[in-house]
Amino acid sequence: MSDTFRFYPSLTPLPPTTPRGSSRIPQQFSIPSLSISDFPRKSLNFPQKIGVSGGKVWALAAWNQEGPLQDLDDSPVSVELKPISSDTQFDRILGEAQQLEESVAIVWMATWCRKCIYLKPKLEKLAAEYYPRLRFYCVDVNTVPHKLVARAAVTKMPTIQLWKDSKKQAEVIGGHKAYFVVNEVREMIENECAM
């Protein structure tokens, strides 16, 4: 193993090197590389011999210690939807939100529902946008008593509801494309929280 470390900061597109109809695959990208000597040794604290994968980890760790990665926002990228598994837990969450004068978003879903499974990570990203002023929860309709599902008047999955003062304020039924549903949920939250 040599003392050089290859680092690939970007891909630079090049025009195809072979004419149309050629059986040879054209080279599409040129990848510039840097050697370890291109980095100040003091700032990266590299050991004498380094492997490619280990070198990348060290470079990122040192880069983080010295600046640019520290300037990143500390807010979460996504927030896991907290599960609700009983009607007493549901009542307790609504009661806590009422005391804090906050709204709560509840996603009603089922484990067998493909749209629910596909939509959940997108709603977790949306939850990060409103964290911590709005809490998001999920309810699997197959694991809670039917009376809770009936109380919330849920008939289709996924259904996203906004609750405030222990009352349902608005809902979105997510039977169409995920980005439409996320935008409708965002509008619902903005409209209800503006009041």
> Is there a catalytic annotation at residue 116?
yes
The catalytically annotated residue of 116, 172, 182, 188 is 116
Q: Please tell me which residue in 113, 127, 139, 157 is annotated as part of the active site.
A: 113
- Give the C-alpha separation, 135 to 77, whole Å: 15
What DSSP element (H or E) covers 83? Answer: strand 82-84
> Residue 51 and residue 26: Cα distance in Å, rounded?
30
**What's the rounded Cα separation, in Å, for the pair 140 and 138?**
7
- Per DSSP bridges, beta strands 29-30 and 12-13 are antiparallel
Catalytic residue IDs: 113, 116
